Structure 1
Amino acid sequence: MKRDMDLMRRILLRIEERSDVPPRVLTLEDFFDIKEDAYVISLHIDLLCDAGLIEVMSTSINDGLKDFDITRLTLAGYEYLDAVRNIKVWSRVKKTIDFVGGATLDIIKQMAVKELSKELGLG
């Protein structure tokens, strides 16, 4: 399965948009309106966890499906999200990575920061 960078961005945005304090734990069900395939969501949450962008309290596997208790974005998660948050910036970055066939999270973040700097008149 190919990694879906749009889905990863949308998952991060959903985690950040929680306004409850203390934040309640999110699980797979909280993302079904973004993507209906629980296995695809699960894989991408796992990837975000691997990348150190989110923190999970626990994981469980039911019928081969991995579920998570997602507690928060990490500092690295906020930094990445801040770089890709703006839809105009994200669209330009996505167009470029689609053209070349993909990129690492670090490269995507670097590209987004560069585009964001241009947007702010800094570059």
Structure 2
Amino acid sequence: MKLDYDLVREIMLTIEESKNSSGPSEPELVAAGERINMSRNEVGYTLNKLYEDGLITAKPLIADNSFYFLISGNLTISGHQYLDNVRDSKVWKQTKSALSGLKSISLDVVSQTAAAIISKSIGLN
């Protein structure tokens, strides 16, 4: 399965906006995916990858080869740092445009590209 960076951003925004001290509910996470036409399975896969990368505190539960229960916990400090770079929709559009010709990019490259765009916009380059 392919990691979708729009879904990464949407999920992380949903986690940050949650008023629940243990993170958003499963229906809130599924709704985050649905807002950008992504399936429950794609949300589960993305949550799993965000957990593996240390951006969220909880791992979705897998049973019988499928995502049984979608949980995210909260953002880690690294998760907050990533989201701070990609939160602004203008910066996000510019980041996606800058990376559009590449076949393979990592979350770190996405974050660094967004940070460079932010730095340039405030005259730090």
TM-score (norm 1): 0.85
Task: Give a deviation string over 1:26-53, Cα, whole Å, max 9, x none.
Answer: 3432222222411110000001001100
Please point out which of 111, 116, 120 is paired with 2:113: 111
Partner of 1:60: 61
Measure, in 1, the Cα distance between the counterparts of 2:60 and 2:95: 32
Higher strand fraction (1 or 2): 1
Unaligned 5+ segments in structure 2 are none
Measure, in 1, the Cα distance between the counterparts of 2:108 and 2:22: 29
Percent identity between the aligned chains?
32
Query: What letter is aligned with 2:43?
Result: I
Partner of 1:83: 85
Partner of 2:95: 93
Q: What is the total number of aligned residue pairs between the two structures?
A: 120
Q: Secondary structure at the match of 1:32?
A: helix
Moved more, 32-41 or 81-90: 32-41
TM-score (norm 2): 0.84
Measure, in 2, the Cα distance between the counterparts of 1:109 and 1:24: 25
Task: Give a deviation string over 1:38-85, Cα, whole Å, max 9, x none.
Answer: 1110000001001100001x6433453222432210000000000111
